[in-house]
Amino acid sequence: MIRIEDLYKSYGKNHVLKGVDLEIPEGQITAVLGPNGSGKTTILKILLGLVKPNRGSVDWNGKIEFGDFKYREKIGYLPQIARFPENLRVRELFSMIANIRQQPCDLQGLINDFKLTPFLEDRLAHLSGGTRQKVNTILTFMFDNDLFIMDEPTVGLDPVAMIKLKDVIRDRCSRGKTVLFTTHIMSLVDELADQIIFLLDGKIHFQGTLSELRALHGENRIEHAIAQILETNGAEINSGKPEPYMEKCS
């Protein structure tokens, strides 16, 4: 169990998280939902130790102190925006990460799954958005980690790659791994998530299973259940507000 307690995070006057308590069960797939700017990425980055909360704690096999890096060796992370030197070739990026991490890895299987062989000698600068996302997906899953955190993993993926992504997530879960992802794609939640966390106005608005969410709102379709929460609370999913910051350590 990953336990988050009483998490507060502000950027200046922007109070993003206002007392978040969460339990993420291990060996399951959890989807973090919420409108743009609701703090999904912030929570993931706090879990990863990339953002320091103003208050609160994260417990995963013991309390995690900010600046504690050892536990990250057990995490695969797909950032919302991944940045690597653009002149690197795909093959060079894979070997660079494999060398840095120094853990056994399964690269070839994933390269085959995501049909990346024709792109291995290409420089990152020349890749399409979808191919970049496939590269990032492989980087996330290449090590045998305990926890996989993905921030909007489907962006740019074609339908074949989407199916592969779902297969990989299900495979890791069937091997007892914990998967946590954010998305705006409700079909992905429908097909994969054991548990849903819905963030609104800096707090957890809902935590439970898909069927609990449906029952609560008397809606069979998850989009409609979510739309109902947002309409009732005067928010708008996908409000289109740009996220003006870069992926960074803050």
State the residues that interact with ligand ADP by CB under 6 A. 11, 14, 16, 34, 36-42, 243, 245, 250
Q: Which of ligand ADP, Mg ion, none binds 112 (CB below 5-8 Å, type-dependent)?
A: none
Q: Which is nearer to ligand ADP, 220 or 250 (CB)?
A: 250
The 66-85 site mask, x for binding Mg ion (CB under 5 A), equals --------------x-----
Q: Which is nearer to Mg ion, 41 or 142 (CB)?
A: 41
CA trace torsion 84, 89, 90, 95 (10° rounding): -90
CA dist., res. 238 & res. 186, Å (int): 12
Q: Which of ligand ADP, Mg ion, none binds 250 (CB below 5-8 Å, type-dependent)?
A: ligand ADP
CA trace torsion 147, 180, 176, 94 (10° rounding): -50
Which one of the spans 34-42, 87-95, 186-194, 208-216 is the region binding Mg ion (CB under 5 A)?
A: 34-42
Q: Which is nearer to ligand ADP, 88 or 227 (CB)?
A: 227
Strand partners, 148: 76, 179
Query: In which residue are the tokens 């050892």 written?
Result: 70
Q: Which is nearer to ligand ADP, 14 or 187 (CB)?
A: 14
Q: How many CA atoms, within 13 angstroms, populate the side-chain half-sphere of residue 23?
A: 4
What are the φ and ψ backbone dihedral angles of 76, each rounded to 5 degrees?
Answer: -105, 130
- Contact of 6 with 50, CB cutoff 8 Å: no
- If binding is defined by CB under 5 A, does position 41 make contact with Mg ion? yes
User: Residue count at the site for Mg ion (CB under 5 A)?
Assistant: 3
Tell me which residue of 140, 139, 143 sits closest to 103, measured CA to CA. 143
- Nearest approach, Cβ of 174 to ligand ADP (angstroms)? 28
Residues contributing to the site for Mg ion (CB under 5 A) = 40-41, 80
